[in-house]
Structure 1
Amino acid sequence: MKNINWIWIIALLWFASCNKSDYKPDPVEIPELPGTSTEDLVLEVVDNDIEAFMTRYNVPGLSLAITKNGKLVYAKGYGFADREAGLKVDTGSQFRLASLSKWITSTTIMKLIQQGRLGFNDKVFGTGAVLGTTFGAAPYPGNVTQITVEQLLHHTGGGWGNSSNDPMFANSTYTQAQLLGWMINDRPLANTPGTVSDYSNAGFFILGMIIEKITGKTYQTYVTDSILKPMGIANMSFANTSLAGRKPKEVKYYGVGGTNPYGYAEGVIPRIGGAGAWLASPIDMMRFLVRVDGFNTVPDVLDANALNIMSSKTTASGNYACGFLVSSNGNWYHGGTYTGTRNWMVRTTTGYNWVILINTSASGNFNTDLDRLVWPAVNNSSTAWPDKDLF
């Protein structure tokens, strides 16, 4: 995330050849598949390419989950969660999601819009706006009071983008409120809101704070209780920054070329909130995605209108919708990166979803090759997917 910007996402666009009722069941805890199941599943059209990819880029560990028509048809861990300890990746291993968190934040915002608690075109800052004048010192400079919820979702808010010294990694001792106040008063917008696309972690950080303002709960608590638990997701949480703060099922991360995956200032990753703080297993990410994919296989948490808005692009936003990108042929996708982390999640128009989580990152053709891993299997009508639902 810090080491990746909008240029990487644009470079991947061409590789992604890539009316439901509200879903409100009682929260239910669904256990992870046992780690031993990863040894039992074999699908060579997937496994061979992944193993070759891992060898090519010296990947310590990788975990994958694939759904077809709402059913979990493949889930497998490869390599090591911790090389030094000899601990293998299994289907319950958790990874930093980085920017895949944005898909979750966007879903939560759209749910609030669907409920009438927030407006897509609501102003964010200033008198009468969602966040009012709580942060920073009024009067606000420049065009800050023109920023809308829609623009933050589409990365067209006018400033605080990753291309110009991402503010999310500055002033590490600041609280979220202090950081936002500093951004408003000391980091002027570079463009008129709504006119220029500039991928922005800060925009989704602000969306997380909007969720807190509307609901009266912390972002993590509200998303967990109101979005994730009704999907059967009980084990997601915020990642920590340090190795000492590693969670029980979390993998160990590995940098390349002298980079340190634990080199971020203490507290920076959880502080980033809605832009990239979540920790999850691939299976839990598929539990999430099958309930926001717009297919009629599993009831979605959003209605058809909300999903249509969420997956819509603007002239200014290019291929970016709200929390993910949309290719020219209608596939949805997004990546996520920290030092020592690289992720990729896809929803195809043909009913497939998948996510790949990795505990390292690399340069060269790594991203291109990562995107290509699952397409041969899903595009081959003779692929022998397991006939049981692994959910």
Structure 2
Amino acid sequence: MRNTSNQKNIFKIFVFTLGLFMLSCSNSDDGEKESEVNFVQVILNDYESSFAKGGAIAYILQADGTVTSGAIGESEPDVPLEVDMRYAIGSASKTFTAILIYKLIESGDLSLTSTIAEIVPEIVTDKIPGTITVEQLLNHSSGLHHPLPGSDGLFNYVINNPSEEITFETFVSFMDLPDNEPGEIYSYSDANFKVLGLMVEKITGNNFSTQLSQVLLNPLGLSNTYIGTSIAQPNQAFSWVNEESLKDLNRTAVESMGTYTGNIWASPADLAKWFKAIFEEGIINAGSLDTMTTFHPGTRGVTYGAGMFRETLGGKQIYWYSGFTIAYGTYCGYIPSTGDVVVVINNQFNFEEITAVVADLVEQL
């Protein structure tokens, strides 16, 4: 059995013990084949004691179409998690924003060297220099301050003001001056994708939700992917903090805080299909994909591209993005050597546990 460290605040959720709930692998509507041996459930079972009440799901889409999935834990009291539920994917939402930007670059409406001052001059301040380029926003080298962490950060404000609509102006009010000059170093910041989302709306004349649906969700048939609101949607998985269900949490502040950056919900099957589309189905052209996957040294052994990360887990290289939002954690990765996609989501967040599950799963592929 594996146990993660107990955490004492909402940023990293307590982990204790929980009995097993079952969910077997199933055929998808896309004709995917059922795995004979559910190694995913076997691995998840080893992590059942990591949760007080919530749990985790894992979904593997292999290159040949085989799907293997499993789940442990509860969505809400006495309701087990199920793989086909919809989950908040946090910052994995940024992959959608990135692809919308690449589509605008491919259409000639934008370029990697376009600057903030050229596209959205109305947001230029001492906190948001106009010289920052689209490429620097995509690869988190803009220097823009990340305003979420800390007791005086935006995340803590959201926790204490759950019913407040978080506007772009509110977001900026929590930003400090840039941490470094544009292009100097990698420094992750939600501010980068806030600006990119505003660019999408400015150039297209559509709100982000409309552009997302018209350009990506509808053409790809991602019918279980949507932008979150304060109102729970059908078949939505709920999250936990310790042994407290967040089913009745007012998510107005959480979801509006994540506009352009972290407020998309998706089923695991949709998320796996989405990553397949990025790397295999030509949703962006080869030049855009090359830009996205040109990686640079980052921190903690992780390398970053322009809208995607890369690391080695379970002995294999993975292109990935992760996400955290109250109180869900998501990891979605594509293994270029095999064409397999791995999705792990928990509803009682602990990122160490997520990456450990991913590593164990990848070892079996």
Q: TM-score range by the shorter chain?
A: 0.7 to 0.9
SS in 2 for 1:343: strand
Q: Which of 290, 294, 304 matches 1:312?
A: 294
Separation in 1, partners of 2:73, 2:248: 21
Which amino acid counterpart does residue 304 of structure 2 have in structure 1?
Answer: Y
Separation in 2, partners of 1:341, 1:3: 10
Separation in 2, partners of 1:168, 1:218: 24
For the structure 1 residues 122 and 315, does the alpha-carbon distance in structure 2 shift closer, same or farther, using more than 3 Å as the test?
farther
1:179 aligns with 2:170: yes
**1:172-225 residue CA offsets vs partner (Å, 9 max, x unmatched):** 646534236646xx7321211111222112211221111111111111221122
Contact 1:62 1:356 in 2 (8 A): yes
1:155 aligns with 2:147: no
**1:312-339 residue CA offsets vs partner (Å, 9 max, x unmatched):** 1246787111232112675201221123
Shift of 1:291: 0.7
Q: Which has the higher contact order (CA 8 A, sep 6+)?
A: 1
Shift of 1:272: 1.8
For the structure 1 residues 159 and 3, does the alpha-carbon distance in structure 2 shift closer, same or farther, using more than 3 Å as the test?
farther
Contact 1:59 1:359 in 2 (8 A): no
Separation in 2, partners of 1:107, 1:69: 22
Q: Which of 298, 308, 323 matches 1:324?
A: 308
Shift of 1:94: 0.6
Separation in 2, partners of 1:143, 1:239: 27
TM (norm. structure 1) is: 0.73
Q: Which of 51, 67, 74 matches 2:68?
A: 74
**1:97-137 residue CA offsets vs partner (Å, 9 max, x unmatched):** 0111112211211121112111112111x3xx1112x236x
In structure 2, runs of 5+ residues without a counterpart are 1-9, 13-26
Correspondence for 2:4: none
Correspondence for 1:27: none
Which amino acid counterpart does residue 45 of structure 1 have in structure 2?
Answer: F
Q: Percent same amino acid at aligned positions?
A: 19
SS in 2 for 1:300: coil
Correspondence for 2:111: 119
Q: Which of 269, 278, 292 matches 1:292?
A: 278
Contact 2:56 2:81 in 1 (8 A): yes
**1:84-104 residue CA offsets vs partner (Å, 9 max, x unmatched):** 2x3333332011101111122
Shift of 1:142: 6.9
Which amino acid counterpart does residue 227 of structure 1 have in structure 2?
Answer: L
1:107 aligns with 2:86: no
Separation in 2, partners of 1:356, 1:150: 29
Correspondence for 2:215: 226
Which amino acid counterpart does residue 313 of structure 1 have in structure 2?
Answer: F
Which amino acid counterpart does residue 108 of structure 1 have in structure 2?
Answer: L
Which amino acid counterpart does residue 293 of structure 2 have in structure 1?
Answer: S
Shift of 1:263: 6.5
SS in 1 for 2:360: coil
Contact 1:143 1:192 in 2 (8 A): no
Separation in 2, partners of 1:181, 1:98: 19
Which amino acid counterpart does residue 249 of structure 1 have in structure 2?
Answer: N
SS in 2 for 1:309: helix
For the structure 1 residues 158 and 262, does the alpha-carbon distance in structure 2 shift closer, same or farther, using more than 3 Å as the test?
farther
Q: Which of 131, 153, 160 matches 1:146?
A: 131
1:272 aligns with 2:219: no
Shift of 1:368: 4.2
Shift of 1:59: 5.8
Contact 2:332 2:341 in 1 (8 A): yes
Contact 2:58 2:342 in 1 (8 A): yes
Matches within 5 A, 1:375-390: 375-378=362-365
Separation in 2, partners of 1:347, 1:289: 7
Q: How many residues align?
A: 327
Contact 1:45 1:376 in 2 (8 A): no
Contact 2:272 2:332 in 1 (8 A): no
Separation in 1, partners of 2:257, 2:206: 15
Correspondence for 1:88: 80
Correspondence for 1:371: 358
Q: Which of 41, 49, 55 matches 2:49?
A: 55
Matches within 5 A, 1:247-258: 247-256=233-242
Separation in 2, partners of 1:270, 1:163: 13
Shift of 1:284: 0.6
SS in 2 for 1:157: coil
Shift of 1:266: 3.2
Correspondence for 2:324: 337
Contact 1:66 1:353 in 2 (8 A): yes
1:352 aligns with 2:346: no
Separation in 2, partners of 1:116, 1:177: 27
Separation in 2, partners of 1:369, 1:153: 27
Shift of 1:55: 2.8
Contact 1:163 1:198 in 2 (8 A): no
For the structure 1 residues 254 and 181, does the alpha-carbon distance in structure 2 shift closer, same or farther, using more than 3 Å as the test?
closer
For the structure 1 residues 359 and 310, does the alpha-carbon distance in structure 2 shift closer, same or farther, using more than 3 Å as the test?
same
**1:342-364 residue CA offsets vs partner (Å, 9 max, x unmatched):** 1111111221111111111137x
Separation in 1, partners of 2:243, 2:225: 30
Which amino acid counterpart does residue 322 of structure 1 have in structure 2?
Answer: A
